[in-house]
Amino acid sequence: MKPQTFAILKPNGRIVQGMILKQIKIAGFKVIREEVRTLDMEVLREHYAHHVDKPFFQPMADYLVSGSSILLILEREDDADPVRFLREMVGKTDPKKGEPGQIRHDFGVHHPTVIFMNAIHASDAGEVEEEIARFFPNHT
């Protein structure tokens, strides 16, 4: 099986989500699974376990349950590492610290208190298997 990565297009409306997905495909990713889903608090407490005690956790979770996300399992069309490739496209956690052309810079909110409105989650190295199992428990 080819290496995969996992991404969440955060709830920013279908037009923005569609533009981001189009960029991801144009960059050479193949969509293996695509599901529109409204996330719930339980899964967010697991997914962001490293942040549950931070002051921004509750506003972040409120934002993430506020509308439809698009969950994606992705592979590369070429032999590049999908995790590294997507993280590079996504850019830094804080949109305003990224470079123009990167997804979070271009589609995220540039404001100090809402860093979590950064358009997309992309698995980091070592996180893919656990995150796919969490969000797509029937995926083999």
Q: Which residues are catalytic?
A: 121
Radius of gyration of the chain, Cα coordinates, nearest whole angstrom: 14
Helix, strand, coil percentages (3-state) for the chain, rounded to 5, are 40, 20, 40
Dihedral sign of CA atoms 102, 78, 47, 125 in order: negative
Q: Closest approach of Cβ 138 to ligand GDP, in Å?
A: 25
Chosen residue from 51, 65, 75, 80 binding ligand GDP by CB under 6 A: 51
* Partner from ligand GDP, Mg ion, none contacting 93, C-beta within 5 to 8 A by type: ligand GDP
Determine the size of the site formed for ligand GDP (CB under 6 A). 10
Rounded Cα–Cα distance for residues 60 and 117 (Å): 8
Binding to Mg ion (CB under 5 A) within 109-128 occurs at 124
Which parts of 1-140 are beta strand (E)? 4-9, 29-37, 69-76, 120-122
Does residue 58 bind ligand GDP (CB under 6 A)? no
Does residue 60 bind ligand GDP (CB under 6 A)? yes
- Binding interface with ligand GDP (CB under 6 A): 51, 56, 60, 93, 114-116, 118, 121, 124
